[in-house]
Every structure is written in C-alpha cells, then in structure tokens.
Amino acid sequence: MKFFELVRIAILNLLNRKSRSFFTIFAIAIGMAFVIILLSIGYGLERLVQEQTVGLDALRSIDVDSEQSAVLLLNSDSVNKIKQLEGVETIIPQINCVGKLKLGGSVLDITVLVMDNNYLKYSYKSLVAGKSFAELSSPNLIVNEIIPNILGTKNEDVNNFIGQKAELEIIFPTNIIKSEDGLAIQTRKKDLTIESVVTDRKNQKESPTAYLFFDSLPELNNPSYSKVKVLLSDQERLTEVRAKIEAMGYTTSSAFDTLEQIQTVFTTFRIILMVIGFVGVTIAILGMFNTLTISLLDRMREIGIMKALGTRNSSVFILFFIESITISLLGSILGIILSFVLGFILEKSFQIIALGRGVSPVSFYYTPPYIVFYIILIGLFIGLITGFYPAIRAHKLKPLDALRYE
C-alpha cells in the first residue's frame, strides 16, 4: 500500500473518532502550551533582569579601580596607558566624593560625582528637566531628582528647580587630589547654578547626588580617579583587554560577571519550570497511549480484514505510526498557538494591573524562536514512542486471530 494512501486512511480513522481524537490532541496541546508558557516566563524574567541590570554599552565596558593597592593610582598617566590598548574606544574617568549642598536655606549631605563629559552619554541617566546632555556646560551643576524631592518639590514642578543658585562644598577622599604645590586638597566650595535634573533608569534607590564636570575644578592637578570606565569598540575583546588591565595591577569588574550569575540562576530556574511543565506533558502522553491502545482494540476485525485482503504487516505498522505522529504534531502545533494567545493575555493582564497601581508596566514574557522548533521535535518524539506499542501489536497480529476478536 502506498504511503499517501496510508496517510489518507489514518486521517479518516481519526475523523471517524472525532471526540476521542479531539480530546487527545487537546490534551497534548494543553501540556505543550504549559511547557512553553513556563519556559517563556523563565526566559522573559531573565531578559527583564538582564535589561534592568546591564545594558548594551555595559556589555562592552570594564570598570577599573585601584582600591586593592595603596601605591598604584589611577591618574592621567595610567589612563593613557589603558587607552593605548588595542580595542579601547573611550575612557571615562570619575571621582566619587561626598559633599554638602546649600540651597534655599536648606543643607543636604549628598554624594558628589566629578565626571568626564562622556559620563552622562554612556550612563543610564535620563533627563527629567533642564538642558539636554549635549547642551550642558561647566561650571554649572546637575542633580538627580532625589534632591528636589527631598526639598519638597513635586515631580511636576521640577522645572522650577532649574536655574536656582546653590553652594556646593566638595569633600575629597584623602590624598586623591593634589594641588600644584603637591598638598592634598581636602575641600572645595563652588557657587553654581542648577542646569539639569536627571534620573537613573537602572537604580531606583540611588542617594541624593550632584554631578560636576572636571572642567568646573580647573585647580585640580593630575587627579587620581576613584574609577575609570573603559568602553571597548567590540565586546568580543572584553576578556583580552580586561586581562591586560589586570596585568597592570588594577582591579576590574564587568557587567559580564553579573550576566553570568544571572544566567546560572535562571538556567536552574528554567530547568525546574521545564520539569514541572513536563509533568503535564507526561499525563497527556499517557492519555494518548491509552487512546491509541483502545483504537487498536476497536479495530481488530478491521485490521484482520485488511491483512486478509493482502495488506502487508509493514503497512499496518506504518499506519499506526502515522496516526500517533499526526495526533502529537497537531497537539504540538495547537499548543504553540495556544501558548502565544495565553501568554499575550497573561502579560497584558499583568501590565494593566501594574498601570492601575501606578507601576510602570514591564515585559516578562519572551519565547525564543528555537523553543517552537524544539516543541515540534518533542511532539514528533512523543508520536514515535506512544505509537510504537500499538503499531508493533498490529504488526504481529495474525489475520485469523483478529477476525475472531470480539
């Protein structure tokens, strides 16, 4: 019997038992959809955490400091050496200090970050009010939105904060910065105008911080930096450049460290979700096996007649395999469609709830394309393993025994 004729017979057999076939296919679909939804939540949460923790620029950047060395400093000489390394695109030095901000009769203890002009461009800062990053100039001041909030300015009134005069007293770390006579600079006071208010997209719990350009402190002579961010032209060079910097004696860190930890945690999480999901698939497989076995028993006489009329045993064997594979593949495809629909509804429902509570909606659901391919392969495998026993029984069945079966 030709293959396409066997396919036609298999489909007719399934259509003749519509209810049984439908519920078996639907059970497979529910199991597959359950697996896809759980895995998609796992992948979506991983991607969300990665986006909240690291960005594209962060994946090609290295943070360099010399905290573990009392004699090795990060100054302009060491920065120039690092800049000469192959693959280094930009170097962004910064000095972390503390200070006091006097504004409108109030005094705040704040963090002060003395920065390079490129810092804001490659940071996670977003403009809330005032001049754009391209328009900012020295010697004026940038503050984060925590400062006006502490002083009682509402978010909608932050624009009124722009242009206010402030006195900033900067307290430098010991021996970090020296003047031309070689003495350590302990403090500096600056009368400044607030030009911009910014917020950090990644760190929602940041402390009150003021940002100041190096150009605003022209009296500083070859400062030692607290940290230097090295931005690479290609993230593929990160390991190589990082090793060279560490060979100079500096301590380095990278977003890849965090990324690897995130991936390790979520790989374990996805395995757990996959195991839970496949419990449902296993139940569906048992139901499918039961359906095919009952189908075999119901069609004993039919099989006997087919064999008596000359149908080969191999054709009967293939016929049952076609039926089982058809059921599993249809169930897998329906499960994929079902998972997309349910996943969309689930994500949108959570986003609507988040908006209703005043929380920014996020996307926590993501289905990698290869998951669809794997689900189809799993469906094919399920069809093979569940169809084997009924197919082998039908193959071995003798025509006379089948015709006698009641």
Answer yes or no: do 225 and 295 share one domain: no
pLDDT at 150: 85
Query: Of 196, 223, 248, which closes a domain?
Result: 248
Residue 333's pLDDT band (cuts 50, 70, 90):
very high
Helix axis angle for 18-53 and 3-16, nearest 10°, is 100
Mean pLDDT of the chain: 80
Q: How far is CA 184 from CA 48, 52, 86, 188, in A?
A: 45, 39, 34, 11
Tokens (6 digits) for 54: 């690291």
Is position 281 within any domain?
yes
Residue 342's pLDDT band (cuts 50, 70, 90):
very high
Q: How many CB atoms lie within 10 A of CB 221?
A: 13
Is position 67 within any domain?
no
**DSSP H helices in 197-254:** 238-247
Answer yes or no: do 240 and 344 share one domain: no
Answer yes or no: do 182 and 301 share one domain: no
**What is the distance between the alpha carbons of residues 391 and 320, in angstroms, rounded to a whole number?**
5
Tens of pLDDT, residues 19-65: 778 888 888 888 888 888 888 888 888 777 766 665 556 678 888 88
Is position 92 within any domain?
yes
Answer yes or no: do 242 and 289 share one domain: no
Residue type, 214: F
141-144 and 227-232 strand pairing: unpaired
Answer yes or no: do 35 and 163 share one domain: no
**φ, ψ (nearest 5 deg) of residue 265:** -65, -45
Tens of pLDDT, residues 132-174: 777 776 667 888 888 888 888 776 778 888 888 888 988 887 6
> How many helices (H) and strands (E) would you count in the chain?
11, 10
pLDDT at 7: 73
Tokens (6 digits) for 149: 């909030």
**What is the distance between the alpha carbons of residues 127 and 116, in angstroms, rounded to a whole number?**
17
Answer yes or no: do 85 and 38 share one domain: no
Residue type, 204: Q
Residue 378 has pLDDT above 80, yes or no: yes
Answer yes or no: do 50 and 140 share one domain: no
Query: Of 248, 283, 301, which closes a domain?
Result: 248
Tens of pLDDT, residues 219-260: 777 778 888 888 888 878 888 888 888 888 888 888 777 777
Answer yes or no: do 44 and 113 share one domain: no
Answer yes or no: do 266 and 244 share one domain: no
Answer yes or no: do 299 and 213 share one domain: no
Is position 68 within any domain?
no
Residue 358's pLDDT band (cuts 50, 70, 90):
low
Answer yes or no: do 302 and 198 share one domain: no
Number of domains in the chain: 2
Answer yes or no: do 242 and 265 share one domain: no
Query: Of 248, 280, 307, which closes a domain?
Result: 248
Domain containing residue 18: 3-54+260-404
Is position 306 within any domain?
yes
**Which three-class secondary structure string do you get for the chain?**
CCHHHHHHHHHHHHHHCHHHHHHHHHHHHHHHHHHHHHHHHHHHHHHHHHHHHCCCCHHHEEEEECCCCCCCCCCHHHHHHHHCCCCEEEEEEEEEEEEEEEECCEEEEEEEEEECCCHHHHCCEEEEEECCCCCCCCCCEEEECHHHHHCCCCHHHHHHHCCCEEEEEEECCCCCCECCCCCECCEEEEEEEEEEEEEECCCCCCCCEEEEEHHHCCCCECCCCCEEEEEECCHHHHHHHHHHHHHCCCEEEEHHHHHHHHHHHHHHHHHHHHHHHHHHHHHHHHHHHHHHHHHHHHCHHHHHHHHHCCCCHHHHHHHHHHHHHHHHHHHHHHHHHHHHHHHHHHHHHHHHHHHHCCCCCCCCCCCCHHHHHHHHHHHHHHHHHHHHHHHHHHHHCCHHHHHHCC
Is position 62 within any domain?
no
